[in-house]
Amino acid sequence: MSDRGWDDDREYHDAVRRAERATRFGWAAIGGTTGALGCALIAAAVFCAVVVVACVYVVVARQQ
């Protein structure tokens, strides 16, 4: 600790500020990753639905 005085809490408050900033960044990264994975999952589901509809269309078209 520095020799500024026993009641000087600047270093503590600075450390708390850095920890809060790191926490906000961490939650933003978690939220961004979750959002990206959600979008990818929705895109994959839509792609699979399109493939199924296309296959059904081909099967029905061949039977006529």
**Confidence (pLDDT) at 18:** 97
pLDDT tens digits along 11-59: 899 999 999 999 999 999 999 999 999 999 999 999 999 999 999 999 9
Q: Decide which of 46 and 2 is more confident.
A: 46
Cβ proximity of 57 and 50 under 8 Å: no
**Confidence (pLDDT) at 3:** 60
Contacts (Cβ under 8 Å, ≥6 apart) of 2: 8, 11
Q: Kindly report the pTM of this predicted structure.
A: 0.66
Cβ proximity of 4 and 10 under 8 Å: yes
pLDDT over 60 (residue 2): no
What are the C-alpha distances in Å from 61 to residues 51, 54, 57, 64?
A: 15, 10, 6, 6
